[in-house]
């Protein structure tokens, strides 16, 4: 799991970590909203598998709007 505390002393790493967590939260919040998942059924940003998948795509250059577009397309199928 991503943890900004592990980047202690390295402000750039801490900022990147915080940025990554925020992106993961935004993507999964949007996904949960679009799929009407709440409570225990909601996708959690603390799940390492979701973190890895989102951050891998982010590292490839995908942005929040790209994630939202894919979610919209998949939800409409």
Give the Cα separation of 39 and 37 in Å (integer): 7
Query: Does residue 5 fall inside a structural domain?
Result: no
Q: What is the average per-residue pLDDT within 2-9?
A: 58
pTM metric for this prediction = 0.80
Query: Residue 2: its pLDDT value, please?
Result: 57
**20 — pLDDT class (breaks 50, 70, 90):** confident
Q: What is the average per-residue pLDDT within 4-29?
A: 77
- pLDDT digit string (tens) for 27-58? 999 999 999 999 999 999 999 999 999 999 99
- Confirm whether 46 is domain-assigned: yes
Query: Is 6 a domain residue?
Result: no
Q: What share of the chain is helix, strand, coil (3-state, %, to 5)?
A: 75, 0, 25
Domain count, the chain: 1
What confidence tier does 16 reach under pLDDT thresholds 50, 70, 90? Answer: confident
């Amino acid at each position: 799991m991503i943890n900004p505390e592990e980047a202690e002393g390295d402000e750039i790493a801490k900022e990147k970590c915080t940025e990554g967590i925020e992106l993961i939260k935004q993507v999964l919040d949007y996904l949960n909203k679009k799929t009407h998942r709440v409570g225990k059924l909601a996708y959690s940003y603390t799940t390492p598998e979701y973190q890895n998948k989102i951050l891998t795509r982010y590292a490839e250059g995908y942005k929040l709007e790209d994630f939202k577009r894919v979610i919209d397309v998949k939800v409409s199928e």
